[in-house]
Structure 1
Amino acid sequence: MLKHMKLTLAFAAALGLVACSSTGENKNPLLSIKALPAMLSNKRPAPPVVTAEQITSVLAATDRPNSIFVIENTAAQLILVELQRNGPYQTYGSSARQAIVLRNGKIVSTRGFGGDLMSSDEGGLLSLVRSRSVGTTSYTLRHLTSDNQTTVSTFTCKLDAGQTLPVVSGEVNRKGRVMTATCKDANRSFTNTYVVDGGGNIISGRQWLGDVLGYFNVQPLRI
């Protein structure tokens, strides 16, 4: 998986494609100069919020695929652009050296967020999701701990198909079937949700990435 994490960060830096506040100023996705006074006074700064103007600007600035990522734990919103593609794997990154790797629209690893998802064995789960099929499969996640140890967690996931919904965001204007994956091991459980079009493309999704990262939402603006 490491080969999918080599980033051409100069591209993202040149475009300034990182999370922005409602003022429209480019910022580090999780920290800004204006947020420092609040942090020093033990007040939590307001998370970055993506605006319609920023979405329009990003779509005009590049013809590459790009997506909005929402971190539920912090409510931070990031617009990231595809920096590298290797088969079905797409690496999205920011000038702050944060990276998210997607396989066919599903997050399979992260870097630079803390408590990162180092890799996953998602083939069985992704196959059911993309084919919009019900069934049960295993799903393995690997995380890096604070003392540089890798933990391995394997979950059993049950896939169910739901209603068909329209998804309109940026250049995406499609209908998709809601696929819900209910996953659990001996101690934990979580629910991932994907909206999948007829071609097997994940056009919207919410998935759990681990105890530290929690849930990330992904909304493609251009696939």
Structure 2
Amino acid sequence: MFWTTGKNVVRTAMAVALTGLLVACSTGSDTVGNSQTLDLLKATVTRNKAPAPTATRDQLRAAITPEFRAQSGNVPLLLVSSLRVPVSSILSRASVNQNVETYITPDQITFALRDGILIASRGLGYDLMAADVSGVSERIRAGSGTAVRTHKYLDGKNQLVPYRFDCSYARAGAEVVESCSGEGLSFTNKYTLGAGGRIAVSTQWVSPGLQSYLIEHIR
């Protein structure tokens, strides 16, 4: 059994977290295949079903114990929180393709990140279908300069529409701030770098409908 603390808040936190980013969004989408880790997480959710308030980010972090990490195969995790609504979730890494990592919840919500930069989401309803972030990683690590992002979203006819954003970069204390604008939209992303220049914590904008998410890597 995962949860031997006897504290309902921990069991509830994980049950809520592992059911996905419940952000008043739809389910089902293109996604990577399941893994043994996902089966394990699904079983945990089934055993611990209980009506309860949404777990907080702090409750989820406290629930990621060494026991949980070991029994889930010690795969890297994401602790993700919407900045639009008070909902957080845990995603486990399901696949790696060169420098793109895809993380997933048991209900098939996925985030794909290239070098820690979000390039796609699925299952949220207002998804980022794809993103060209060539040159962005270099600017983040330099903490200065400019780069261009191209995001693709589905329109009302289910056609992909590209959005171009011009971005500038600057350091603000421990963070690198990315300020982007274009297509009548603007947003700000923030990145905290860890060992080796790897993105450890970030706030990243997904789409006009979903707004931004706080993304923390747990390795």
Which residue pairs with 2:166 in the alignment?
156
Q: Of 138, 148, 151, which residue of structure 2 is paired with 1:141? A: 151
CA contact (8 A) 1:140 1:153 kept: yes
State the Cα distance separating 1:106 from its structure 2 match.
1.4
Which residue pairs with 1:49 in the alignment?
56
Q: Of 192, 200, 210, which residue of structure 1 is paired with 2:207? A: 210
Which residue pairs with 1:110 in the alignment?
121
Runs of 4+ in 1 over 4 A off after TM superposition: none
Percent sequence identity over aligned pairs: 23
CA contact (8 A) 2:31 2:108 kept: no
* Separation of aligned partners in 2, 1:17 and 1:181: 36
* Separation of aligned partners in 2, 1:186 and 1:206: 21
Which residue pairs with 2:33 in the alignment?
8
Which sections of structure 2, spanning at least 5 residues, go unmatched?
1-29
TM-score, normalised by the number of residues in structure 1: 0.74
**Alignment length (residue pairs):** 185
TM-score, normalised by the number of residues in structure 2: 0.75
Q: Per the alignment, in what secondary structure is the counterpart of residue 220 of structure 1?
A: strand
CA contact (8 A) 2:180 2:186 kept: yes
CA contact (8 A) 2:180 2:188 kept: yes
* Separation of aligned partners in 2, 1:198 and 1:64: 18
Mapping for residues 1-223 of structure 1, pairs under 5 Å: 6-16=31-41, 25=48, 34=51, 46-50=53-57, 51=59, 52-56=61-65, 57-61=67-71, 62-129=73-140, 131-164=141-174, 178-197=175-194, 199-222=196-219
* Separation of aligned partners in 2, 1:142 and 1:217: 21
Which sections of structure 1, spanning at least 5 residues, go unmatched?
27-32, 36-45, 165-177
Aligned-CA RMSD value: 2.5
State the Cα distance separating 1:209 from its structure 2 match.
0.8
